[in-house]
Amino acid sequence: MSRPNLEHTVAEQPSVSIPPAPHETELGLRRAVGPWASFTWGYADVGADVYVALGLVMAAAQGGTNVAFLFAGLIYVCVGLAYTELAAAYPFAGGGQFYVLRGLGDFLGFCAGWAVLLDFTIDISLFALSSVGYISFFFPFLKTSVTLHLLGVTFPNTNPLLIIVATLFVFGLTGLNILGVRESSMFNSVLGAIDVISESTLLFLGFLFAFDGPTLVRQMTTQWPDPYHLAYGASLAIISFVGLESISQASQETVRPSTVVPRTSIALILTVLIYALAFSNLGLAMLPWQSFAAHNEDPVAWLASHIPVVGLVAGPYVAVLGATLVLISSNAGVFGASRITYSMGRYRLLPRWFNYVHPRFRTPTRTLLVFSGVALLELWGAGLSSNAYDTLGNMYAFGAATAYMLVFVSLLRLRVIDPWTPRPFRVPLNVRIGGWGSQPIYLPIVGVLGFLGISSILVMVVATHAIGRIAGPSWILLGLIIYWIYRKRSNLPLIRSSHHDWPTEQLTVYREAGEIGIAEEYEENLERRNRLLGVHGGAHE
């Protein structure tokens, strides 16, 4: 039996002294999220994504839309399993940004967090715009196209009314968050239940009354896209599967996360995968893909309105439901941006200036104003193009692919450098590659496949998204400049990591979560590690 070279890893896996159970802790987020609330926490975000992505992917992948969703869906399964393992093992707020920080250090942890921040700001703008799009089902004049002339430049086929109303939505959401008004877990739970029932009913009626197999086959055979457009569609389809961050970020507020998070994450993975594949196949079997491309602002309502017998009622109902869901997803972007900047500020990846809390409203007003402002700039910039939805989707895919790729690398590295942490859920298909004494180390094959898959998505984004390959790296470069200035002024290392006492923090979080068995197992593992390394005392990292 082999094991990693201890000389090269002692600095990464130091001895720890086991802290006593704390009476009070600064990490004490209130744990009030149960199994259904945990599921709907994620579903309120990711469940709305198909309402946006269906039209975009149809316009790109054409008769190969279902294949594009399938490819993105298989990668999504790998991403979901990785997040499930990491969230159950490390139930901290921060999501993917924290996992990369924990496994790869401060510098790459910042890169992952900054990439996720790009997605959160686009969440705000894209889903606010999509909410207006579903409202336009009732008010078609909102989609009026005009030619704009600004600073001597002509911008044809723009939709200024959509942008203006979406801007008002962003202002409204930002104002509500500054005042401290937010949707509760109960509201998410009720809305999630309504949407699951509604989407399931819609699909059942669609397959019962409108599914036409020959139409599906004909579109797949005669309207098959070229490789460029298929890759473009697959890279956009990843939008349908972004949202697992919500469950992982709520894990520090979840009751018994080692049990709840795996169950709710697996349920969310399967639910969203089934819905995305079902809608893409039903759409191709009902209507020409060109009709969805022409209605990319309200594709699911367009589909529902063409179901025989129930379409007259289903179309308006889905339009209202879709407008509500995507607006809540936009609000989730506002919350997510403040949550992740709080985590990054706490671990000294961003200036503490972003963590300022207003003395009256008790909300992070600076973060809310700064990143809602970024979302507005993205919205207005996209509004100058002939397809604002597609323009925003370009940048969205870059941020998601970058962050997920780093999360996979972190999963693989944590398996090697931290086998001592209990893992209530493990990514399947593992191969033993060595061990620390009697502590085995396993390589997750699914993690490797997921890394290769999401890397291919990132390559597709860079190769096919003209805006994404410019705006995405530019956003990362801007973040690195901020990071460099902040760390240099704070006398913190630029590439190396600051001191983090991970074992002590993990034990604190386990105890707060009521995970007494896992805390005891982790303590035993740490004692075995100390004996293996032949050192004693002191919690240092």
Domain that holds residue 511: 6-533
- pLDDT in the model for residue 339: 73
Retrieve residue 293's tokens.
């491309």
Q: Is residue 216 part of a domain?
A: yes
Lowest mean pLDDT among 310-319, 373-382, 467-476: 467-476
How far is the C-alpha of 16 from the C-alpha of 23, rounded, in Å? 20
Give, to the nearest 10 degrees, the angle between helix 106-135 and helix 388-417: 150
Is the Cα torsion angle 353, 395, 457, 459 positive or negative in sign? negative
DSSP state of 33: B
529 pLDDT band (50/70/90 cuts)?
confident
- pLDDT in the model for residue 148: 86
How far is the C-alpha of 325 from the C-alpha of 202, rounded, in Å? 16
**56 pLDDT above the threshold of 60:** yes
- pLDDT in the model for residue 359: 80
H-helix or E-strand containing 71?
helix 65-89
Find, among 5, 440, 187, 459, the residue nearest to 195 by Cα.
187
Rounded to two decimals, what is the model's pTM?
A: 0.85
Query: Which residues are CB-neighbours of 137 under 8 A, at least 6 positions away?
Result: 298, 301, 302, 315, 316, 319
Domain count, the chain: 1
Q: What is the mean pLDDT of residues 465-482?
A: 90
Torsion angle (degrees, nearest 10) of CA 43, 507, 82, 57: 30
Q: Is residue 538 part of a domain?
A: no
**65 pLDDT above the threshold of 70:** yes
Q: For residue 445, with 0-12 CB atoms within 10 Å meaning exposed, 13-18 middle and 19 or more buried, which class applies?
A: middle
Retrieve residue 382's tokens.
């996209």
Kindly report, residue by residue over 277-298, the tens digit of the pLDDT: 999 999 999 999 999 999 988 9
For residues 115 and 404, is the Cβ–Cβ distance under 8 A? no
Selected residue with higher pLDDT from 242 and 170: 170
Lowest mean pLDDT among 139-153, 176-190, 313-327, 349-363: 176-190
Q: What is the mean pLDDT of residues 129-138?
A: 94
29 pLDDT band (50/70/90 cuts)?
very low
Q: Is residue 541 part of a domain?
A: no
- Domain CATH for 402: 1.20.1740.10
Backbone angles phi, psi at 185, to 5 degrees: -60, -35
Residue spans of beta strands (DSSP E) within 36-179: 146-150, 153-158
Q: Is residue 479 part of a domain?
A: yes
On average, the pLDDT of the chain sits at: 84
- pLDDT in the model for residue 443: 93
Is the Cα torsion angle 388, 340, 252, 493 positive or negative in sign? positive
